[in-house]
Amino acid sequence: MLISAVRQGIADAVSAGVVTPVGGTTLLALAYVPDLVPDVPCLFVMPGDLTYDKTMGRGCDELMLTVTLYVSRVDDIAAQLALDAYTAGSGPSSVKAAIEAARGAPGQAALGGACDDLHVPSVRGYQWYLTAGDVRYLGAHWTVRVIGRGVI
């Protein structure tokens, strides 16, 4: 399992699977953390803990990722409505549903072969964030658990 392929697979899954709920602005999904948020809504993928050898012989590693999404603060209510839709557990704007749709059919690898399986167990941190340049965004963070064969 290559972390770069997993990150790109998640960004691609979100780009292909999420319908922007409010305002018609396309969601920008990035595999890597940008220095500055280029446009909103903006989602990016950051690796977290990597546990090697969950099974013997490099059979399975577990990677925890954080997927962060920021929406505009131009209108407080519109931003909250948009983030409500993105954080929903299902539906056309659900980040969770878009990522988990890339799991593949039973017996197939997830994210086009980048990993064996994945799951989005939670979203947290629904709040205002101050980023570089003193710009405030409303945002949230999804936890994504990924398992895959260890690279030998």
Q: What are the start-end ranges of the E strands in 2-134?
A: 28-30, 42-55, 60-71, 117-131
Which band of pLDDT confidence, cut at 50, 70 and 90, is reported for residue 144?
Answer: very high
Query: Is the confidence at residue 152, as pLDDT, over 60?
Result: no
Contact status, residue 16 vs residue 29, Cβ threshold 8 Å: no
The model's pLDDT over 21-71, given as tens digits with 9 standing for 90+, comes to: 766 778 999 999 998 888 899 999 999 999 999 888 888 999 999 999 999
Place of tokens 């969770």: 96
Q: Which domains does the chain have, with CATH numbers?
A: 3-148 (3.30.70)
| Cα distance between residue 126 and residue 87, in whole Å | 9
CA terminus-to-terminus distance, the chain: 10
Residues 41, 47, 49, 53, Cα dihedral to 10°: 130
Q: Give me the percent of the chain exceeding a pLDDT of 90.
A: 70
Task: Tell me the three state secondary structure of residue 139.
Answer: strand
Tokens describing residue 102: 């890339």
Contact status, residue 49 vs residue 149, Cβ threshold 8 Å: no
- In this prediction, residues 110-120 reach a mean pLDDT of 96
